[in-house]
A and B are shown apart, each in its own frame.
Chain A
């Protein structure tokens, strides 16, 4: 295990200065997620236009550097993408965090993949995987209009 894999510069940067933090007015989908184990929570807001494209996305919440960076990078990455594409990215990301060595989707450009792969260090820290995945599960829940609050504990 190496802390440098976990706390890469990009994670520290996004963790300290999360992009897209704060609710915006004309969102039409949102969902909450929390991690009961540590009390962290996230609320994802997004606006899908008539073409099912993510026009805008933001989040509110608090958590560790990993969870804040993950939400920050995620929101950056899915803005402007179609719902279908967003879902593919989410599935690909969660698959990578769980088991795969790399990202496979063609939707993301190489530099975007590199950015996302900066979160792959959590694989070595099983207790911290939930920190990285909470905002992604919450995004899925928002797209699916689920009223259920996403929980990392079953």
Chain B
């Protein structure tokens, strides 16, 4: 694959940003959007718009078909067994909230345990905390090791006969650790415990096969997969979607509504109340096609090359401390510079058009464990090049110079 050609498909790189060529190293936060995705939103609104699933006029039928085609695209992309196992949400956050809320309602009671890990994003902790408040459940955290990984053994250590669900990241947005999710699912299932995978960082960078992983739930963020904001996916095994109660109530999710009672709609409508983010769902299909065209194996290979190059380069740069050293690692490099706060690093790098993130990256539990209030993070997407990493390194040197290091 030719990265220059791929990069040209992203309009954001056409123009200078603050007089600089953009070096975008914040894809773990949100990825940039290829032209096909942006155009699809424009075309839908200008030529094809109608609400889906309700009216019988031409535009409504066409829009409904487009919307459902996206569902089938996602199903195929992640190799889910059935298209009804794909629920569109406003993001991965809503997908996790949906599971915590509905599973919590039906299956959790006082003293039950939910097992997370220390490297979870707040979106995979706060929804469970709500249950801790409402139902007096307990939350356990599988520990990270010195390399910033969570091993199968660390998970096993925290499983008790009270553990009712395990919810873990696929890929850490801070250390980049890729968790052994297939093994975690096997272990959990041997004890009849369902597993939710927070796939925010997994889905944009790794090959997904739901039937192979065999997880019960998998949460996906659209905007990290070169897709629009406001769109996410909850994959859930059909048995769960049939078994769990609905999440939000409203139009579209019902079967029959009477004064004395209501019956709910069939899957997947049961979980898609109200008018959905229609344009985003339809444009998300273009993101999937975009990734399929490049090929996830090629994306993985490219990002691995960038990661190896970046780690080698930054390790040579004195006074940089790289956070974590996982054996299986995605395209994320979190680091600190002795004597310079991450926010100062981010501001100084930005001056040269190098966009990184600084802060706790919505992982305060992890940063507490690492005893660091904040870190700087460079994360990769398909459009990044080794030249971007060279510019990162140069900008870091400028930063050290300003701080007289």
Contacts and interface: CB of A to CB of B under 8 A. Distances in A.
Contacts of A37: 359
Contact of B374 (A7, A39, A66): A39
Interface in A101-146: 125, 127-128, 131
B147 interface: no
Interface string A65-77: 1101000000000
B364 interface: yes
Interface string A32-51: 00000111110000000000
Contacts, number: 54
Contacts of A1: 18, 351
A39 B358 CA distance: 10
B343 interface: yes
A106 B349 CA distance: 38
Given A12-B403, A38-B358, A38-B374, A66 B344 contact: yes
A34 to B, nearest CB: 10
6 nearest interchain CB pairs? A64-B341, A64-B343, A39-B360, A38-B359, A39-B373, A64-B344
A80 interface: no
A16 B347 contact: no
A6 B351 CA distance: 12
Interface string B328-354: 000000000001111110011001000
B2 interface: no
Contacts of A125: 347
Interface string A1-15: 101001100001000
A3 B403 CA distance: 12
Max chain A C-beta neighbours (<10 A), residue from B339, B348, B373: B373
B190 interface: no
Given A3-B402, A7-B402, A131-B343, A39 B359 contact: yes
B348 A38 contact: no
A41 B373 CA distance: 9
Interface string B304-344: 00000000000000000000000000000000000111111
A13 to B, nearest CB: 10
B339 A128 contact: no
Given A1-B351, A3-B348, A3-B351, A38 B404 contact: no
B171 to A, nearest CB: 22
B7 interface: no
B90 interface: no
13 contacts: A7-B344, A7-B348, A7-B403, A12-B402, A37-B359, A39-B364, A39-B367, A40-B373, A62-B373, A63-B341, A65-B340, A65-B403, A128-B343
A30 to B, nearest CB: 20
B275 to A, nearest CB: 30
B123 to A, nearest CB: 15
Given A1-B351, A37-B359, A65 B344 contact: yes
A39 B403 CA distance: 22
Contacts of A39: 359-360, 364, 367, 373-374
Q: Which residue among A3, A6, A37, A125 has the maximum number of chain B CB atoms within 10 Å of its CB?
A: A3
A37 B388 CA distance: 26
Contacts of B348: 3, 7
Given A39-B359, A39-B364, A39-B373, A128 B341 contact: no
A12 B404 contact: yes
Nearest to A127: B347
Nearest to B402: A7
Nearest to B339: A16
A62 B404 CA distance: 20
Contacts of B364: 39
Nearest to B359: A38
Contacts of A3: 347-348, 351, 402
A65 to B, nearest CB: 5
B347 A128 contact: yes
Contacts of A128: 343, 347
Contacts of B347: 3, 6, 125, 127-128
Which of B347, B351, B360 gathers most chain A CB within 10 Å?
Answer: B347
Nearest to A38: B359
Given A38-B373, A128-B343, 11 more contacts: A3-B348, A7-B348, A7-B402, A37-B359, A38-B359, A39-B374, A40-B343, A62-B373, A64-B341, A68-B341, A128-B347
B405 to A, nearest CB: 10
Contact of B341 (A41, A65, A127): A65
B2 to A, nearest CB: 35
Interface string B191-210: 00000000000000000000
A74 B404 CA distance: 24
